[in-house]
Amino acid sequence: MPLRIGDEAPDFTADTTEGSINFHDWIGSNWVILFSHPKDFTPVCTTELGYLAGLKSEFDRRNCKLIGLSIDSVSDHTAWAKDIEETQGHALNYPLIGDPELSVAKLYDMIHPNASGNAKERTAADNATIRSVFVIGPDKLVKLILTYPMSTGRNFDEVLRVLDSIQLTAKHKVATPVNWKQGEDVIIVPAVSDEEAKQKFPDGWDAPKPYIRIVPQPK
């Protein structure tokens, strides 16, 4: 069965560019972005991983670890890291999982379940679903799932924006409206009655409709 939001993120042990990890132990009390890319030494992936390295300090501020994956070997990751730094201006500063046997990729439904574990036998079809993003909370539950086509590089600024929303709404009984960014107004969730809302938001709210109650972002 494919993973869904709210499921526990499958645990695994794997080799990475920063040594062997047990995933749940590695998460600890942090948030995590687990993402996969189709293949080392490819153009779109090179731009993605370099850009994300440049954003790492923003994820650090949000108590969020980054970890990448492809079905290449750790030694290939290490060699490719030099190209990422040279062409993108940012050195790789988070671990990459080597998954040549496809075990983690299949565990997270990142690749077709019948895909070959032999890198020489891989086809474009084998790679079609492997540009994935998972946001995982400190409770080890999946909070977000995104899957992109091979030809489209991801918007990691958007991943950061969604992380802000998820962390905020995990703490307060609010939701974030379309195109919301950190610091902007939010919406009181429908499950909160007006009586409870008056206690949580004593300054009141704007309500263009009774079910749309807009308040400043809680601290």
Q: Please identify every residue annotated as catalytic.
A: 45
Q: How far apart (Å, rounded) are the C-alpha atoms in residues 19 and 14? A: 8
Q: How far apart (Å, rounded) are the C-alpha atoms in residues 95 and 78? A: 10
Residue pair 56/94 in contact (Cβ under 8 Å)? The answer is: yes
Q: How far apart (Å, rounded) are the C-alpha atoms in residues 84 and 64? A: 22
DSSP secondary-structure letter at 131?
E
Q: How far apart (Å, rounded) are the C-alpha atoms in residues 10 and 107? A: 7
Q: How far apart (Å, rounded) are the C-alpha atoms in residues 104 and 11? A: 9
Which secondary structure element, helix H or strand E, spans residue 156, and what is its range?
helix 156-171
